[in-house]
Structure 1
Amino acid sequence: MGQEGAPGGCNCNRAARSAFSVAMTKSYPKERMPIRFSRILLNEGNHYNVSSGKFVCIIPGVYYFTYDITLANKHLAIGLVHNGKYKIKTFDANTGNHDVASGSTVLHLQQGDQVWLQIFYSGQNGLFFDPFWTDSTFTGFLIYPDQDFLNEADTKANAKDDS
């Protein structure tokens, strides 16, 4: 037998949670700026900022992001941005009817990282909002947190229990 290890602990009551789903309430947002989705469907942890249009990572780990954007009257060139760099871009050529552009990806984020959507090409801003017909949505959620983050949370929980 080896030496006795440090007392175990569990931060079980404080699960790492981060998820959001937001929808548009306005057509044709400003180009080359974060799109502000102002209708909150879910904002677990309040990590999506309605004022800035950005998701801010508080819990480092692996996240899934997806968007479904309705377009009308114009083409759409939209991209998912991570800390100022495009990670994916979607282009949809409007054929005169309403259409949907979508994209999704998985990203590893560090604490403080930011993720948002923006129109990346001037004149290609067909993002359309109709309150009676359809929604354009942006969604993201934590798949799993970094182990170091969990270990640190357990250490802090154990220290609090010892005092």
Structure 2
Amino acid sequence: MPVGVVVQRRPGVTRWQKWAYTPTALLPGAGPAHWKLLREDGDTAEFHIGTATLTLWRTDAEAYRIGLAEPVVCAYVILQPGEDEWPFKLKLITANPHEAMQYADGGEDVVEKVPMPPALVAWVQEWTDQHYVEEPFVKRKRKRYHEDKVEDGIGDPRIAQASDVYRAPSSARKNRLS
């Protein structure tokens, strides 16, 4: 589904940052746009910076359920630094919190949580209900024995030891101190 992103521009709070940009809204079914001015009120302005496709994957259905269980259901907007006159370029929109966390770990992209409109929540909920398959929990069982009946490691008789491996080499210590 194509989803547009609205970004609010406000004056920066420090002298090093002239403007602060924050994604504030999503527009489901929006057409293409590139930093189209939607509203201006004094120094504050809202732009439709672009439209990206929100794609849902079957393998991520469990992650979508986790996101839908939050008190405020959100999508994640990933912005990358822009190369032209605009400071950001829309990279991705996702409903998967795990995917958003991976982009946040990189440090180059800006990842913001934006509340989903009710129509988008209903679409994601319906898709997730159709495609989610619960996997049964299988407890892993430990083997309580050595398969080859032979112990490996320090006490293994197959490994030749010139001396006790836990003993500190006293001759090397004496040479360093001299």
TM range (shorter): under 0.3
Higher strand share: 1
Higher helix share: 2
Instruction: Choose between structure 1 and 2 for higher RCO, CA contacts under 8 A separated by at least 6 residues.
Output: 1
